[in-house]
Amino acid sequence: MAEQSHAPAAATPVLDVVDERLTRQSRWRRMLSRPDLGAFAGAVLVFIFFAITAGNTGMFASDGVLNWLTVTAQLMIIGTGAALLMIGGEFDLSVGSMIGFTGMVIAIPTIYFGLPIGLSVVLAFVLAMAIGALNGFIIVRTRLPSFIVTLASLYMLRGLTIALSILFTNRTIVSGLKQYSSGSFVAQLFAAKLFPGFFQWLADNGIINKLPNSQPAVPGIPMLLLWALVIAVIGHIVLTKTRIGNWIFASGGDANAARNVGVPVSAVKISLFMVTAFCATVFSACQVFEFGSAASDRGLLKEFEAIIAAVIGGCLLTGGYGSVIGACLGALIFGVVQMGILFTGAPSDWFQVFLGAMLLIAVLFNSTIRRRVTGER
């Protein structure tokens, strides 16, 4: 063993002999430099903490799990979009307003103008992505910081949502969508519960809890979870395994350097704004079909939650570094803690304190990682 490691050092560096020790070291180093390492450790800690403090409260029973998984899935959807955009070097603060806006675009035309519900949903996606593209276009063209441009769209969209819903319906909460949507394909697409028979069977056999009316406590896997999983998996694969992923990293790492070697930076950034808008619309569609209503204040502050999930997941605020897996773990931490605090019975205000502290720790940790990766001292 010892002889082996001495031999390559004496030979020319062109030899194909690989020193085992070095490989192991670099793999270790590569693992330590993973953007999602901190979020993974955080998630493990959070689970241990609540297993101890809330282990006997039903938090880890089937309905409890569904509870925090729902929050996690919602945040995974917009967090994936936010992470991709942040790696591409931009922010989108209009995500929250977009959720409120697209909810209304689904509800109002269906209920008040008689538009088929499927068309309303398509309209919501088209409008949202057009607004996303416009955000991106303004930012790419004017080279203004995305922070300020999307802050403007945050206010304009929210105001527009309230103003238009009052104009058309004279109210800010539009309910009664269920009668239009029940049985429709889009309602199934965004709010169906998967495998109800299996969950009934689980309840009948006492594996999961039953409600007093003998329904299972968890009627099935909500489509929301499936959407979150699909979006996250696609986001992760595109980012790490395709050339578009390489362009996203390059655009966020150094837009000029990327342009100089022919990366279509503007197209990448505009597309990423359309992706965040798409994710926001999926979020709102799931919510609208779940509740059967839309409200103009939906999605308030969600843009920050999405960014927090991405940052806890290891995305650098300056772009060019991060991962979708990290953002999903960030969303998981968020969901577990927000719901876990309710289960422990502590005042929910503590969640905000925790969130702020978590964010600060994550940012400090990320800048350490960044120094390790770039070799800065």
Partner 1 sequence: MTTAETVAAAKPRPREESGRALIEVHDLVKHFGPVVALAGVSMTVRAGEVHCLLGDNGAGKSTLIKTLSGVYRPTSGDFVVDGNPVTFASPRDALDAGIATVFQDLAMIPLLSITRNFFMGREPVQRFGPFWFMNMDFADSIARDEMRKIGIDVRDPQQAVGTLSGGERQCVAIARAVYFGAKVLILDEPTSALGVAQTSVVLKFVRQVRARGLGVIFITHNVRHAYAVGDIFTVLNRGRTMGTFIKSEITLDELQTKMAGDKELQDLSEELGGTV
Q: Which residues bind partner 1 (CB under 8 A)?
A: 13-14, 22-23, 26, 29-30, 33, 241-243, 245-247, 249-250, 253-254, 256-263, 316, 320-321, 370, 373-376
Closer to partner 1 at the Cβ: 190 or 247?
A: 247
CB of 82 to partner 1, least distance (A): 19
How far are the Cα atoms of 157, 172, 292 from residue 163, in angstroms, in the given order?
Answer: 10, 9, 21
Distance in Å, CB of 24 to partner 1, minimum: 11
With respect to partner 1, which residue has the nearer C-beta, 196 or 264? 264
The answer to whether residues 342 and 50 touch, using CB atoms and an 8 Å cutoff, is: no
- The answer to whether the CB of 101 falls within 8 A of the CB of 257 is no
Query: Whose Cβ is closer to partner 1: residue 182's or residue 374's?
Result: 374
Q: For residue 284, what are the contacts with CB-CB under 8 A and spacing of at least 6? A: 98, 99, 100, 102, 103, 106, 124, 294, 298, 299
Q: Are 293 and 181 in contact (CB under 8 A)?
A: no
| Minimum CB–partner distance for residue 278 and partner 1 (Å) | 19
Nearer to partner 1, 258 or 288 (CB): 258
Closest approach of partner 1 to the CB of residue 42, in Å: 22
Toward partner 1, which CB reaches closer, 220 or 253? 253
Q: Minimum CB separation from partner 1 for residue 237, in Å?
A: 8
Nearer to partner 1, 224 or 263 (CB): 263
CA distance 262 to 295: 44
d(CA 127, CA 281): 10
Closest separation in Å from C-beta 267 to partner 1: 13
